[in-house]
């Protein structure tokens, strides 16, 4: 699955650095990426420890002004979340040497300034550069999900076929090549196509591809249902589409019966190789268009399929009543199938929508719990240092509850005067409070302090001594004499002696 992750232009990273990103920078990022050295994960947000991973980046490439990443999801639902639009925005995190750290997918949080990239968090080891385009994986549905080359290809062909190549291929190749290949000639490519035709026994078709389209550059030449015209790629990413398109009669109209058989065998063999279950009855094709079956034979077979037997091949054998009955039956059946199909679609869509909402709610819940735990751990560390006293938890919602409440506020405020470059530092309320509390002096000395027993209250020395003895008697269930001895040892100042 290829996705667009970054573009050239003037961008600001998470550390506030502004720079102009060029084609050379994108080439440098792509060249430095080596999954054997560091396999960059695909994550949600920008976690500091790069986890959990919902997939892995297999490779990077630059196409025009855009950096593309080939990702392999490892969580089954993740690709569905992307196609459903739960995470339209994504950004890249780079190490200081410009190598890829991870790709983070972002949810519905809008950018702080419309039209500008927004940032995730400040990590001292990496900068985050967000590319907030709505371009989705290039193997999803329709033109908005294709690569720039594929979009150009579709514009040349029109909108009738957004996946399989059609006319205009030579024009596309010439636009894409420019002056990079001085030795390129249409004659050479045409000769290569004629050679493939002889090898595979499939003719050159009008609108076919003379050369392999750029979007199928990674598909071997021999892994096409029609390798002569480079149609119907049969690799793991495209085999399902090849089966679906070849099952449609209009896609087989250009091919002879023998060619249909050859291409069908190639597609079914590829499906078996990739472990795809196929209903082979759907691939038992009759004579292609232009074959020996005439109109009356086709009509007779059609009526036979509707339960109307016709023995004669003469046009006159079909009465008006027969034709009307056949038409009415066909219309009714088609109506039932359409209504049933819509009902199934509505049910399926409702279930998927419900599942996606449940997943989204669960992700939000987990993120909230993680945020609360992080705040609680922070407050506990300050208590252990003596900077927060237990009494702070009894005021209002408590210091920990207060910190957890403001942790959900994402708005950043200006807290300082402008620096020399005219910019003002911004902080979220939680960041401000954490910095403020961390700088507090120690409020508690963890040493022995006076207990209620050792503080006998006001009055003269005799009254204080008497109260201390009586309290010791009650607390320890002993007689007056023993209590007096115990108190005299513990509080000698009450008996006129130094402590």
Nearest Cα to Cα of residue 5 among 150, 115, 104: 104
User: Average pLDDT in the 134-159 region?
Assistant: 37
pLDDT over 70 (residue 153): no
Using an 8 Å Cβ cutoff, are 87 and 93 in contact? no
Residue 178 has pLDDT above 90, yes or no: no
Domain boundaries, given as residue ranges, for the chain: 2-131, 143-292
Q: Which residue has the higher pLDDT, 323 or 103?
A: 103
Q: What are the tokens at 60?
A: 């990077």
Q: Would you state the structure tokens that stand for residue 211, as one six-digit string? A: 């050369």
CA 233 remoteness from chain centre: 25
Contacts of 496 (CB under 8 A, 6+ apart): 461
In this prediction, residue 498 carries a pLDDT of 59
Q: Which residue has the higher pLDDT, 219 or 149?
A: 219
> How many angstroms separate the CA atoms of 42 and 287, rounded?
49
pLDDT given for residue 419 in this prediction? 61
For residues 124 and 17, the answer to whether their CB atoms sit within 8 Å is: no
Q: Who has greater pLDDT, 447 or 388? A: 388
Sorted by sequence, the CB contacts under 8 Å of residue 44 that are 6+ apart come out as 54, 87, 104, 105, 106, 107, 363
Give CA–CA dist 251/244, Å, rounded. 10
Tens-digit pLDDT profile for residues 288-332? 444 444 555 666 667 666 666 665 554 455 566 666 777 778 788
**Token representation of residue 78:** 């993740």
CA-closest candidate to residue 186, choices 214, 154, 209, 158: 209
Using one digit for the tens of pLDDT, what is the confidence trace for 197-209?
999 999 999 989 9
pLDDT at 240: 92
Distances (CA, A) of 488 to 187, 284, 470, 471: 115, 108, 13, 13
pLDDT bin (cut points 50, 70, 90) of residue 132 is very low
**8 Å CB contact between 275 and 295:** no
HSE of 286, CA atoms in CB hemisphere, 13 A: 11
pLDDT of 236 reads 92
Strands (E), 157-239: 224-226, 231-233
Left (φ > 0), alpha (ψ -120 to 50) or beta: where does 226 sit? beta
3-state DSSP assignment of residue 148: helix
pLDDT (tens digit per residue) in 336-362: 888 888 888 888 888 888 888 898 889
Round the average pLDDT of the chain to a whole number and report it: 75
Give one word for 293, left, alpha or beta, with left for phi > 0 and alpha for psi -120 to 50. beta
User: Quick one: which of 245, 336, 322, 335 has its CA closest to 282?
Assistant: 245
Give the residue among 297, 279, 277, 278 at the shortest CA–CA distance from 287: 297
Q: Which residues pair with 90 in a beta bridge?
A: 105, 131
Tell which residue, 30, 53, 58, 29, has the closest CA to residue 42: 53
- DSSP string covering 87-132: T-EEEEEE-TTS-EEEEEEE-SPPPSSTTS------BTTBEEEEE-
Q: How far apart are CA 227 and CA 234, in angstroms?
A: 10
3-state secondary structure of 224: strand
Q: What secondary structure does DSSP assign to 392-423, as a single string?
A: GGSSTT-HHHHHHHHTT----EE-S---TTS-
The whole-model pTM stands at 0.28
Q: What is the pLDDT of residues 42-101, one digit of tens each?
A: 988 766 655 688 889 999 999 999 999 998 888 877 777 777 777 767 788 888 888 898
Candidate from 286-295, 399-408, 422-431, 441-450 with smallest mean pLDDT: 286-295
CA distances from 260 to 195, 286, 308 (A): 19, 10, 30
Span of 303-307, 384-388, 432-436 with lowest mean pLDDT = 303-307
**DSSP state at residue 473:** H
> Based on the number of CB atoms within 10 Å of its own CB, is 25 exposed (0-12), middle (13-18) or buried (19 or more)?
middle
**End-to-end Cα, the chain, rounded Å:** 80
Distance CA 238, CA 139 (A): 9
Beta bridge partners of 67: 6, 62
Most confident of 59-63, 168-172, 289-293, 402-406: 59-63
Which helix H or strand E contains 245, and what residues bound it? helix 239-246
Tokens of 379: 């407050």
Structure confidence at residue 37 (pLDDT): 83
Q: What average pLDDT does the segment 405-432 reach?
A: 74
Give the span between the Cα atoms of 352 and 340, in whole angstroms. 18
CA distance 370 to 374: 6
8 A C-beta contact, residue 403 and residue 375 = yes
* pLDDT surpassing 50 at residue 161: no
Say how far apart CA 289 and CA 291 lie, in whole Å: 6
- Name the one residue in this structure whose structure tokens are 């268009």: 289
Q: What is the predicted pLDDT for the residue at 323?
A: 66
Residue 261 has pLDDT above 80, yes or no: yes
Torsion of CA 397, 398, 400, 405, to 10 degrees: 20
Give the DSSP H or E segment for 305: helix 295-305
């Amino acid at each position: 699955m290829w996705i667009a992750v970054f573009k050239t232009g003037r961008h600001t990273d998470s550390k506030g650095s502004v720079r102009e990103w060029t084609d050379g920078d994108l080439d440098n990022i792509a060249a430095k990426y080596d999954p054997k050295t560091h396999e960059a994960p695909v994550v949600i947000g920008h976690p500091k420890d790069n986890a959990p991973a919902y997939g892995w980046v297999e490779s990077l490439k630059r196409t025009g002004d855009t950096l593309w990443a080939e990702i392999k999801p490892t969580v089954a639902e993740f690709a569905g979340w992307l196609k459903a639009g739960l995470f339209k925005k994504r950004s890249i995190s780079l190490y200081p040497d410009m190598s890829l750290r991870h790709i983070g997918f972002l949810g519905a949080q809008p950018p702080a300034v419309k039209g500008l990239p927004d940032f995730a968090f400040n990590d001292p080891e990496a900068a985050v550069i967000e590319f907030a385009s709505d371009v989705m994986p290039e193997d999803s549905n329709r033109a908005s999900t294709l690569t720039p080359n594929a979009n150009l290809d579709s514009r040349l062909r029109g909108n009738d076929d957004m996946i399989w190549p059609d006319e205009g291929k030579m024009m596309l190749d010439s636009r894409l090549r420019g002056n990079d290949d001085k030795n390129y000639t249409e004659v050479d490519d045409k000769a290569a196509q004629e050679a493939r035709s002889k090898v595979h026994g499939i003719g050159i078709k009008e609108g076919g591809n003379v050369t392999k389209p750029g979007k199928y550059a990674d598909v071997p030449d021999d892994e096409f249902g029609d390798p002569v015209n480079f149609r119907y790629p049969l690799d793991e990413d495209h085999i399902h589409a090849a089966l679906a398109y070849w099952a449609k009669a209009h896609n087989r109209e250009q091919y002879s019966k023998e060619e249909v058989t050859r291409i069908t065998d190639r597609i079914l063999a590829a499906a078996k190789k990739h472990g795809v279950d196929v209903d082979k009855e759907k691939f038992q094709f009759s004579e292609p268009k232009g074959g020996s079956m005439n109109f009356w034979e086709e009509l007779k077979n059609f009526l036979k399929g509707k339960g109307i037997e016709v023995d004669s091949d003469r046009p006159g054998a079909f009465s008006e009543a027969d034709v009307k009955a056949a038409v009415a039956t066909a219309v009714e059946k088609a109506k039932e199938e359409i209504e049933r199909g819509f009902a199934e679609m509505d049910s399926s869509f409702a279930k998927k929508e419900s599942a996606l909402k449940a997943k989204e709610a669960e992700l939000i819940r987990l993120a909230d719990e993680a945020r609360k735990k992080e705040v609680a751990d922070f407050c506990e560390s300050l208590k252990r240092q003596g900077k927060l006293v237990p009494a702070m938890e009894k005021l209002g919602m408590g210091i920990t509850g207060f910190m957890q409440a403001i942790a959900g506020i994402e708005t950043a405020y200006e807290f300082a005067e402008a620096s020399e470059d005219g910019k003002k530092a911004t902080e979220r309320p939680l960041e401000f409070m954490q910095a403020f509390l961390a700088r507090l002096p120690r409020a508690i000395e963890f040493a022995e302090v006076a207990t209620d027993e050792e503080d006998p209250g006001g009055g003269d020395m005799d009254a204080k001594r008497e109260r201390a003895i009586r309290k010791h008697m009650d607390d320890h269930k002993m007689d007056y004499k023993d209590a007096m001895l115990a108190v005299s040892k513990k509080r000698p100042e009450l008996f006129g002696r130094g402590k």
